[in-house]
A and B are shown apart, each in its own frame.
Chain A
């Protein structure tokens, strides 16, 4: 069968311009693969989250109380709008590791049978605990991350300190819980090592026995009828729980694991819109520019075809087909690569988030949407690029073209500048301004790729600076010991006597509810001694500041949520969970900001007086001698009232080890940005070369060497490259600021820190693109048939 001659011509044109054609294909493929992978990962996460939450009946509201009788569950179930209630116990205890160090275990009791309970668990390995009688074996299930980090498996035995007594427990299984998809202790410990914090799930009856909570619960989980006013219900239930010491209540979205997962989904959403729009937008412009040049170069052929009787529509279809083909191929490659990337990222997410059934799935919606988008952009590029066909008249096209028109530049009005320029620079400048659209696309492409290089590298800078700030400035202790309940500060003397300890500073971590003009915010206040040196405090602009003499140093995020400013008076309600809750009014003395977590500060003495106590502390920050912290940690083994010990060094090492995800995304982004830069330069060089073939051949005939002619060619791109690179650096900085703002959450505050190293690397990227442009020019010049070109008409 004979193919249509136009189709044959299309294939041959693609073949003869395969370099720039595949340059565009690469940019389209990258844009679409980023889009597909981010949407697919986000869909995978969302889908497995939804299915997991549904399967386990994840609660809508969480209430923490000091101690409430189990009967309160029926009372709450009777409230209008409530469709499910569970009462349970949850408490942190210490687990002693064989090496003498300890970890925090969050004991959570579940009523059996579990079918009708909220926040049910899903056994992944082993079996469910049994309802053993009092005094029977204590059976627990662990979350997989903690079990793995501590080498525990079904059949292992652990030793736990509960209510001052050491209890052996048997691990019977590994389970996933919807509230520990990302297992973290609290908002201040998001960096904590999973080996240091785990979740132990056991029968409610046994938990009540060992925690001395018989007949009582300390947490109420509520499911609501869809469409119910959440705030009204929250208020109503809070009133019911009032007599039992209301400690905290929050909706599902503020539950820490869910908040972290949502933050991640938001980051993916930002990345899925932000990155592909650059790539696809630039690919469209590149296609339009290249197609325009193709049409102009084929002026005589198009004129001939018109003379033969081909109409504008068919010719537009022929050249439009060129950009549709590059979009189609790019789209296809993008979909396949996107799913490949999605698999890698989904697997990586599965190591952080314990979501059963988290797997990469093909998502026809995102593939269809992505392909439709690229094809639509391909059509647009086709129309833009092939519009010159309309201007070609057959009779004129057959005649010898007149030389390209050039106009004088504004710069030529200043002879003292213009006359200092060499001929190559004059040629380049005139050519840049003659081909404004093409120059603008090259400039824009370089600007975006340099900007993206800055953003890609910036994520590392930002995390490094966040780490540096958090671990070297905000936290200056080596160990943080927490007590099971508040103790007198004189007890700290016992810690000071431990081997390796250089200095101990007291700390009171007080959970509070702050109220201002009807708004509430639950947060943690650190009570410290003025002049204390183990906690670096900075104001909301990250400038160091000290603890105020009086008043509350309010966390910036909490202030924003409350709408409070320095000088405002807040109501503070203590939620310690032990002893009566106290209320007081405090003036906001200033604002502070922590790079990780949310913490407000108060003078320790003021905090004690609010609690109507003197000299109480809940923990101690400890500085040890060089290399002594493990020794000190082990020495604390026997101290039953110490509930947990956190090592700053271990936390840091853990976080640094776990930057695989970030390194991978940085590497992928750097590769993609470089690819964009290379494709832009490759296409710009190819265009400049094809347009200047005759000029270059005549320069070669005159006696200019290949290197000299390549320099002529480079100068034009070099000016655009230099301009694009220098504009790309501040653009990258702006993008970084936007990105930092978009991905900062209540828990992490990313600063737009760009290290000079990043600017240098991005500039080196620009230099590499220039070198590439030069070598591409040189390579093309080798293939230039000088004698043939100077002889022939265009």
Chain B
């Protein structure tokens, strides 16, 4: 259990999809609490329901059953408009593939995120912080995979979100680039106090978090506490 009062609370959440003519249960009666300012890693093999869980927390989807509370407010019955506002104001996403807009430069991609909120951070400053100060005018096609992912993190951070959800952020990167990306996420958690949830199939990443959830077949099978998280630079895989 997190030390502070949980800001996100999932109670007995189930999510089923109709895929063609087959009903697939992606998540089963899952409960989870996330405290503000926490850095949490959710581990599990592919198909274990990690991304579904992340999408539900991030307001990209609504559960079939169960409750999702953010700051006491129910998200499971929120309409499209409310979910959009939630994503806009509360959540920042980082995906495995950077999903940058190819027709915008690095700076413009970040500015796009800044344009969404009332009190954004400075896009230039955030890009500087992710080490992209000298690549601001470059288009995604002119950046390496790691650089694209840094811009994607900057785009998520510039909104100054309360929650940063990262779905396999190192999945398409080599080890050393991946570590630098994880350092950025850890820094965001430490400096801005942003709550960070990282989803990965890579068990080594769990070492950077205080709390680790493990998933299998659509359920959280265990929670474990890590009293001494290590810096991402020390992780090897």
Contacts and interface: CB of A to CB of B under 8 A. Distances in A.
Interface of A: 400, 402-406, 423, 426-428, 430-431, 434, 694-695, 697-706, 786-787, 790-793
Contacts of A786: 60
Given A701-B93, A791-B51, A791-B95, A406 B139 contact: yes
Interface stretch (B97-105, B189-197, B212-220, B223-231): B97-105
Nearest to A428: B103
20 contacts: A400-B97, A400-B172, A402-B141, A423-B108, A423-B112, A427-B101, A428-B103, A698-B100, A699-B101, A699-B112, A702-B116, A703-B87, A703-B91, A703-B116, A703-B159, A704-B84, A705-B81, A787-B51, A791-B167, A793-B97
B94 to A, nearest CB: 10
Contact of A423 (B55, B87, B104): B104
A793 B98 CA distance: 10
List of 5 A-B pairs having minimum Cβ-Cβ separation, nearest first: A703-B88, A698-B99, A403-B140, A703-B87, A430-B103
Contact of B89 (A699, A700, A703, A793): A703
Contacts of A405: 102, 139, 141
B57 to A, nearest CB: 12
Nearest to B101: A695
A562 B25 CA distance: 90
B96 interface: yes
Contacts of B86: 703
Interface string B160-182: 00000001000010000000000
B88 A431 contact: no
A697 to B, nearest CB: 7
Contacts of A702: 87-88, 93, 112-113, 116, 155-156, 159
Given A427-B101, A787-B51, A704 B141 contact: no
A427 B87 CA distance: 22
Interface residues of B, number: 39
Contact of A701 (B87, B101, B102, B112): B87
Contact of B111 (A400, A406, A423): A423
A431 B103 contact: yes
Interface in B106-137: 108, 111-113, 115-116
B148 A403 contact: yes
Interface of B: 51, 55, 58, 60-61, 80-81, 84-89, 91, 93, 95-97, 99-104, 108, 111-113, 115-116, 139-141, 148, 155-156, 159, 167, 172
Contact of B84 (A406, A703, A790): A703
B103 A787 contact: no
A701 B81 CA distance: 13
Contacts of A426: 103-104, 108
A702 B110 CA distance: 11
Contacts of B167: 791
A698 B101 contact: yes
Given A695-B102, A702-B155, A790-B95, 10 more contacts: A402-B141, A426-B103, A427-B103, A427-B104, A428-B103, A434-B103, A695-B103, A699-B101, A703-B91, A787-B55
Contacts of B113: 702
Nearest to A427: B103
A103 B232 CA distance: 105
Contacts of B87: 701-703
B103 A706 contact: no
A737 B190 CA distance: 72
